[in-house]
Amino acid sequence: MILIYAVIAIAVIGTVAILLVKGRKTPPGTYPTTRDANDPVRGGGTDTLEAPPAPAEPRVAVPEEELPETDVEVADDAAGIETVPVETPAPVEGRLARLRARLIKSNNALGKGLLALLSRDKIDEDVWDEIEETLLMADLGTEPTMELVDALRDRVKVAGSQDPEHVKAMLREELIKLVDPEMDRSLAVERHADRPSIVMVVGVNGVGKTTTVGKLARVLVAEDKDVLLGAADTFRAAAAEQLATWGQRVGVPTVKSDVDGADPASVAFEAVKAGIDQEVDVVMIDTAGRLQNKVGLMDELGKVKRVIEKQAMVDEVLLVLDATTGQNGLNQAKVFSEVVNITGIVLTKLDGTAKGGIVVAIQRSLGVPVKLIGLGEGADDLAPFEAEAFVDALLN
């Protein structure tokens, strides 16, 4: 009898345990996963104890015909952004001297390669072929390369001398002509009588647009301008916070949306509106990176510009290009120029690269000047582009 009672007790305990397991609730703070009948690990079944969180609503673009509105905040000491001390940007003159020195020390194959070839005892056809190849490898472009080689050949022939210093002087003069010191490289950042200057910064993914906007804000603050930033890159995680932090470092406010995936045109519109209301000198709009071959994204960029211009004309559209991308950068520039009418180029990562010739190629192709150059990752490593200083740095 005792054995029978023991068996019955074990059976009862097992049944109760099974019922308890089936009725167990999900632990706090977790979401159960719906089981899949075809899942060999979790087994069949369709019951779910609790519904998983609803997916985020897809971003809905604001129709261009309507006046765009969005919830934005001005991030001076914005909540959720670590407060950083306000810095004093270096004066423009100091940045230029430091950047020139850095370019001179860099391993620049364009200048060093040309000087090595032109310093040979005899400059024959083989040397001219190597010079041509060096220029093409530096992304100078076919037409400018032929112009430079032909001009140098003629001048060396007429001079009747192959003295290295004389040839170097001629090379400097011809390179300066190609870089074109006559192009207007001034930034349209002067306040109008009734509104700020409006600057848009555009480019493909990963070229450093947000960083460039932050660095340019430092340049303008160093020139005693009152600046406001607009965080219209609403797709990249933490882009708005990154821009606001750059602004905080120089005491510049940032207008950003408090909604993830907000319509970028709406944010840009609100930033310009805030700039007009606050009577600042310059409003700079940071836009999301986009591939030049994505038609929808490029159309959206055009929309951002049109929506801004419901309030004020855009004075400057700066395209940020990575100098190391070479001819691909030239292709990017052409597409962006067709969509938003580029007015200037910001060329980054010129330090230690052989791609300095892209300056000439882009300007020749678009008729648009390189206005700013970046030679490092430091906060003040952005400076106005100067044709003669650039060529001198290449050849020294």
Question: Which tokens in the block code for residue 319?
Answer: 């395209």
Question: Which tokens in the block code for residue 74?
Answer: 């001005």
- Whether the pLDDT of residue 79 is over 80: the answer is no
Provide mean pLDDT across the span 155-162.
Answer: 82
- Whether the pLDDT of residue 17 is over 50: the answer is no
Q: pLDDT per residue over 39-59, tens digit each? A: 333 333 333 233 333 333 344
Q: Confidence class of residue 148 from pLDDT cuts 50, 70 and 90?
A: very high
The pTM of the full predicted model, rounded to 2 decimals, is: 0.76
pLDDT at 299: 85
Q: pLDDT per residue over 238-278, tens digit each? A: 889 999 999 999 999 999 988 877 899 999 999 999 999 99
**What mean pLDDT is reported for the chain?**
77
**Lowest-confidence region among 113-122, 342-351, 382-391:** 113-122
* Residues 245, 77: Cα–Cα separation, whole Å: 9
> Hey, how many other C-beta atoms are within 10 angstroms of the C-beta on 61?
12
pLDDT at 284: 97
65 near 59, Cβ under 8 Å? no
Domains of the chain in sequence order? 73-94+187-395 (3.40.50.300), 106-179 (1.20.120.140)
Give kind and range of the element (H or E) at residue 318. strand 316-322
* CB-facing half-sphere around the CA of 263: CA atoms within 13 A: 21
Three-state DSSP class for residue 333: helix
